[in-house]
Amino acid sequence: MKTALMFFDGQVGVYTCIVHDLTNDGAKIELNGPRVLPLGFNLSFDNFRTIRNCDVIWRDQDLVGIRFRHSDETTAA
């Protein structure tokens, strides 16, 4: 298992999540905090050296399937 940091536009703070089933196209994540999750959010696996833009594909309580937006991947300054 791997952890990642997630954050959203318009919200202060960073949340951790547990990453399951990671692929180049997406992952299944397990939420450790937010009960409300926007359809699009940002995720970092390396303490903000890089940031992945994500879209929610499905959700079952605290488990969420996400898709990475490859063309929008950015590097943090």
Q: pLDDT at position 33, please?
A: 74
Q: Provide the domain limits for residue 19.
A: 2-75
pLDDT averaged over every residue in the chain: 88
Q: What pLDDT, in 10s, does the model give residues 23-60?
A: 999 999 999 877 788 999 999 999 999 999 999 999 99
Specify the pTM: 0.82
pLDDT at 77: 44
pLDDT at residue 71 above 70?
no
Distance of CA 13 to the CA centre of its chain: 14
CA-nearest of 60, 6, 55, 62 to 26 is 55
Q: Which is more confidently placed, 9 or 60? A: 60
Q: Is residue 45 classed exposed, middle or buried when 0-12, 13-18 and 19+ CB atoms within 10 A define those classes?
A: middle
Number of domains comprising the chain: 1
Instruction: For residue 37, give the CATH number of its domain.
Output: 2.40.10.430
